[in-house]
Structure 1
Amino acid sequence: MNGYLRYINAIIFMLMALIPRIAMGESARDMVLRGNAAYDAGKYDEALSAYEEAAGKAPDSSRIIFNKGTAHYRKGEYQKAIEAFQEAGQKEITDSLFGAYTKFNLGNSYFQEAEQKKQTDQNSALALYGKSIRNFQEALELSPDLKESAENIEIARLAMKSLLEQMEKERQSDEKQQQDSSGEDKQQDGNRQDASEKDGQQEENQQESSGDEKQQAQEKQQGQAPQPQEQGDQQKQEQGEQQQEQGESRPESETGDQDDPTAQLSEDALDILNEEKENRKHRRMIQMEDDQGVERDW
C-alpha cells in the first residue's frame, strides 16, 4: 500500500506545478501561488481558503477546482475530493492529459473511500472499489503512458477480490448459523408437540369422564334438550378458532423472497474483475509487442 500512496503524491504534485503557469487574472494567480505554498507546507486548510478565493476570481478554471480536490484529499475528505475532481473533469473536456490526471485522482479518492467503509458498509465499499477501477481504466485510456494507472488498477482489483472473499465467508457462516438455529427450533417444536399431545390426551380423558357424569344427570331429568344457544356458542368458538388459525398462517403465505442487493453487487463486482482480467491480458500483449518491436497499424 505504500507504493500506492507514492503514486498518488507524484501525480498530484505534477499538476500543482502546472497550475501557476495557467493564464488568468493576476490576483487569481497570486491566490493560487499562495495556496500552492500552503499545500506544500501541509497547511491544507489555508490552501483550501486560497483556492476558494481564486475560484471566486476565475470560476471557470478547472485547475483551481482540481487543486481544491487535492487539498480535500490530503485532509482525508475523500467525498469532497470526489466532488471536486468530478467538477474539474466536467469543466475541462479538451485536455486529455488533464482528464487522465483527474480520472486517476478520482480513482484514488474512490479507493480511499472504500477502504474507510469496508469494515462498516461492505456493499458500499464494493461499489466504490468498482468505481475506483473504472476511473483508473479511463485514465489509462486517456493517457496510455500513465503506467501508475495500471498498477493502481491491480491494487484496487486485489482489494475488491479480498472483500468479495470475506463477504462470501461471512455469508456461509451466517447460513450455517441459521441452519443450526433452525435445527434447534425444530427439536424444541417436536418436544412441545409431544407435551401438547400428552396434555390433549389427558384433557380428552377428562372430557369423556365429565360427559359420562352429565349423561347420568340428564337421564334423571325428563326429556330436557340441550339449549340452542350453547350450540351457537360452540359454532362461534369453532369459527373463531378457524379464523385465528387462518390469520396466523397468512403472513407466511404472503411473504415472498426479496431481491438480494448484496448478491447483485457481488455479481457486478465479479463482472468488473473478469473484465479487468481481459484488459490485463490485452495490455500485456501490447507491451510484449512493443518490447519486440512489432509494427501495428492501429
Structure 2
Amino acid sequence: MPKQITLRSPLDMHLHLRDGDMLKLAAPLTAESFSGAVIMPNLVPPVDNLDRLLEYKQRIVDAVGQHQFDPYMALFFRQYSEQELAIAKEHMIGIKLYPAGATTNSEAGVKAIDAVEPTFKMMEEMGIPLMVHGETHGFVMDREKEFLESYDYLAKKFPKLNITMEHITTADAVEMLDKHENLRATVTLQHLIITLDDVAGGMLDPHLFCKPIAKRPEDREALLQAALEAHPRLMFGSDSAPHPIEKKECCGCAAGVFTAPIAIARLAQLFDKHDKLDNLQVFISDNAQKLYGIKPTEKLITVTNERFQVPPAYVGHNQHVVPMHANEELEWSISQIG
C-alpha cells in the first residue's frame, strides 16, 4: 500500500495571482488544492484602497470558478487615515509593507520606516496585522539580515502589533522569530529546497530566481528544521509568482518562482524524506489559522507517494508559465480532493 496523508484545509499565506489573463490561469491552479491564500497587493496600480481591494477580490472569485477557495485580501501599505482603516478592516487580513523598489511592482512602497509610524500605531490599536517584505537595498546576500534591525525595532516599539516576516530566507531570521512574541513568519517551498548555487552555480536557472534570493546551505538548513519541527509561529507561504516565459527567459529576468501547482505534493515529499510527515498539517494550515484567527473553507487534500510528472509549462489564457521542477518527476502527488 502506498503511503498517504490527508491535509485539512491547506493554506498558502503568501501568494501572487497577478491580474487579467495571468490571474485567470494562476488562480484555479491554487484554488484547486488550497482552501485559501493571502493575496499580495502589488499590482499596477497597487491595491491601496478599499474599492480596489473589493474589485480585485471579485476578479479572483470569478477566476477560481467552481473551486471552494477563500482569498484573504491585503492592502498595499501607505499612510492611511483612521477612518480608512476602520472601514477596510473587516475586508482584509492585513497590510503588506514593501520597501520602495525592493521587489516586483514595489516602487510605491515605503522609503523610511520611521516616517510611517502613525499608521503602525493605528494598526496596533485596531488589531490589523502588518506583513513585511523584509529587505534593505544593501548587498543582495545581506539585504534580509540588514532588515532584521527594523523587525527588532518595530516589535519592541509596537508590542501589540502582529508582524509577519514574509518569505524568510536566513538562519538569522529564524533566530529573530524567537526573539519577540509578536513576530511570525512565512517561508516558501523553494527556500526549503534550494540554495544560491542551484540558481547560479552552473548554468543560470531563471525559473529559480526570486527575491529574496536563495541563500547559503546553512540558511536553508535552519529554515528547513524550523518547518519540519512545525515551529508555532512559522507558516507556509509559497510566494508563488507567475511570470510569462518571455519575462523569465530573457535579459533582465523577472523575479519569481511559480510553485502553486506542485507545492503540496513537493512539501509532502520533503517532509516524508525527513520522517516529519505528521508535522505537515501544522505547517501548512494549523499555525496560520491560530496566528491569524481564521477559519478557512473545509477542504480535504489527500497526497500519496505515487509519482507525478510535472509538465513543462502551464498554458492558457494567452499565458505560458514554467513551474519549478518542470519536466521532472515528483515522488508524491495529489490523489484526492474533497
Do both share a fold (TM > 0.5)?
A: no
Which structure is richer in relative contact order (CA contacts within 8 A, separation 6 or more)? 2
Larger Rg: 1
Considering fraction of residues, name the structure with more strand. Answer: 2
TM-score w.r.t. the length of structure 1 is 0.29
Considering fraction of residues, name the structure with more helix. Answer: 1
